Amino acid sequence: MAALPANDRTPLVRTDFSDDGAWQALRDEIGDDWVVVVDDPAYRGLSVADLVALVPDGRLYPALVLADDFSAGERTVLLVDVVEEPGRTLRATPDAARSMISNLSIQNRTFDDYVTSAGPSGVYRLSDRHRQALAALGGFSSVGSSRAVALGRSGSVGEPAQAGGRAEAQQAGQRAEPAQRSVPPEA
């Protein structure tokens, strides 16, 4: 069996092939701008250990997202740690999974942080406060949305960032020069 993708987008691996409608609903809810969909019957029923063994060296994603159980009443996915303790798992709602992967990718939080935040059900969910903060950022609460909003020059949240600078230079294939600091002359 081939290794999982080695890029920077998190694999969404389908291991449950019992309900095509539920799979499509999950795909619609998750969106495809932050995951690489792995929808191959060769992965049917693979264990977490089997999947961790397929994670390539050099991958940039912190976890796998598994569509492993369409029989449950609530739609959830299983996140599999591939960095801190490979093979450790945590079930999460699809919108929470996106937030987790984002924070794990930038090392803002650890997998253990989410495990301890899961609560008595064992499923990590976004809090109402988290949802409100995402909505204030201008659309990040819509799962599947790739809209990027940053702090604008005025410093207000939700204002689109001004064009120009390092990101624009990188998109144009140019080398972005670091900002120059003014240093007082030595006496």
Q: What is the pLDDT of residue 160?
A: 32
Q: Which of these, 29, 8, 19, lies nearest to 93 by C-alpha position?
A: 29
Strands in 77-81's sheet, in edge-to-edge order, are 35-38, 10-14, 63-67, 77-81, 89-92, 123-124
19-28 CB burial, b ≥16 within 10 A, e <16: eeebbeebbe
pLDDT at 126 over 50: yes
pLDDT digits (tens, 9 = 90+) for 32-87: 888 999 999 999 999 999 999 999 988 899 999 999 999 878 899 999 999 999 99
* Domains of the chain with CATH codes: 10-136 (3.40.50.800), 147-175 (no CATH)
pTM for the predicted model, two decimal places: 0.71
pLDDT at 172 over 80: no
| Cβ neighbours, 10 Å, residue 159 | 14
**What does the alpha-carbon distance between residue 78 and residue 164 come to, in Å, rounded to a whole number?**
39
**What does the alpha-carbon distance between residue 139 and residue 69 come to, in Å, rounded to a whole number?**
29
